[in-house]
Amino acid sequence: MATKHVRQSKWDASWVTDGANQQWKGTALIKLEVADEIRRMKSGIGKFPRLAVVLVGDRRDSHTFIHIKLKACDQVGIETVASQLPENCDESELLDVVSGFNEDPDVHGILVQLPLPQHLDEEKIINVVSLEKDVDGFHPLNIGNLAIRGRKPFFVPCAPKGCIELLPRHGVEIKGKRAVIIGRSKIVGLPTSLLLQRHHATVSVLHAYTKNPEHITSEADIVVVDVGVPNIVCGNWIKKGAVVIDMGTNQVKDPSGHGFCVSGDVCFEEAVKVASAITPVPGGVGPVTISMLLSNTLDSAKRAFGMV
């Protein structure tokens, strides 16, 4: 069933400090830049990037996300190869698929869509993805290198990278700011906190056991929310003038009773009244995340072709 969007607003309605539809242009611009480089790569050396995506099981949201990713790759000229495994597949089957992509010189990026079904050991699978093809940036060595000052990971995870990309593009300085990130997941919360520290923010990480999260959040200049619970952050959590990035992408039943719609983690209607800028869901940081995946895959191919 098609996913309907709750809000029509794109970048323009979100970033209340500017009314110039910048988010959408920013995302489109990154895609255009990637597409242009790939065109030149094809005509120059006759080669192009290829991304392998691995999907296990039947989760509705995972199918939606994979569909969005494959479509975006197609738009910019990244070839894709998709492998879909049943919900009850063996760990060894999945490991074989990943190993096959590791060994294939024509594959430059590998993405194993998360979460995996319970019986599969996520850590074990992520560990097997070749470091040089880990366009998600989830491999422990890539995360470790992100955590240590002065080191350079091969890849930075896409959603955190997108979040950091957005801030300076909208004139938001990170250095010296107080940032709160709500959530500490390995795919968003943790790497975002590391990246914000790299950019010299003073970072607090909140999680399910944090007491008085609204109090800590209300002191932050930059608030990043990645919990996975619709509308968990209310307007009164936000300091006047703060910048809010809502990472939540929650598929919820459409109030009309027909189909599903997407909801963020922040109560947009309340927060938009106090924030100086806020990303909506849909149309906020999600599309930027996808652009970062394209950019990571291009970088990987360039490295493989000796172009960097």
Ligand X SMILES: Nc1nc(=O)c2c([nH]1)NC[C@@H]1CN(c3ccc(C(=O)N[C@@H](CCC(=O)O)C(=O)O)cc3)C=[N+]21
Buried b (16+ CB within 10 A) or exposed e, 181-197: bbbbbebbbbbbbbbbb
Q: Which two tokens stand for residue 151?
A: 């080191």
**By CB under 6 A, is residue 82 in contact with ligand X?**
no
Binding mask 125-164 for ligand X (x = CB under 6 A): -----------x---------------------xx-----
Element (H, E) at 73: helix 60-76
Active site residue 69: yes
Strands 178-182 and 202-206: parallel
Within 13 Å, how many C-alpha atoms sit on residue 43's CB side?
5
Q: Return the range that interacts with ligand X (CB under 6 A); candidates 61-69, 89-97, 142-150, 194-202.
A: 61-69
Binding mask 204-243 for ligand X (x = CB under 6 A): ----------------------------------------
**By CB under 6 A, is residue 192 in contact with ligand NDP?**
no
Among 72, 180, 206, 238, binds ligand NDP (CB under 6 A): 206
Tell me which amino acid residue 265 is. Answer: D
**By CB under 6 A, is residue 84 in contact with ligand X?**
no
Q: Which two tokens stand for residue 154?
A: 């091969």
Q: Among ligand X, ligand NDP, none, what binds residue 6 when CB lies within 5 to 8 Å by partner kind?
A: none
221/226 with CB nearer ligand X: 226
**By CB under 6 A, is residue 114 in contact with ligand X?**
yes
Minimum distance from CB of 27 to ligand X (Å)? 10
Q: Return the range that interacts with ligand NDP (CB under 6 A); candidates 36-44, 136-144, 145-153, 248-256.
A: 248-256
Active site residue 84: no
Concatenated DSSP letters of 225-273: E--SSTT-B-GGGSPTT-EEEE---EEEE-TTSSSEEEE-SB-HHHHTT
**By CB under 6 A, is residue 250 in contact with ligand NDP?**
yes
Contacts of ligand X in 163-192 (CB under 6 A): 187
Minimum distance from CB of 133 to ligand X (Å)? 13
Q: Which of 22, 23, 31, 69 is catalytic?
A: 69
Q: How far apart are CA 108 and CA 51, in angstroms?
A: 6
Minimum distance from CB of 248 to ligand NDP (Å)? 4
**By CB under 6 A, is residue 112 in contact with ligand X?**
yes
Q: How far apart are CA 295 and CA 298, in angstroms?
A: 5
Binding mask 274-303 for ligand NDP (x = CB under 6 A): -----------xx--x--------------
DSSP character for 131?
A: G
Chain length of the chain: 308
* Residue (of 137, 37, 27) closest to 77 by Cα position: 37
Q: Which residues contact 172 (CB under 8 A, 6 or more apart)?
A: 166, 222, 243, 277
* Residue (of 176, 223, 226) closest to 204 by Cα position: 223
Minimum distance from CB of 301 to ligand X (Å)? 18
Please identify every residue annotated as catalytic: 69, 113, 136
Residues that bind ligand X (CB under 6 A): 3, 64-65, 68, 111-114, 136, 158-159, 187, 249, 262, 281-284, 286-287, 289-290
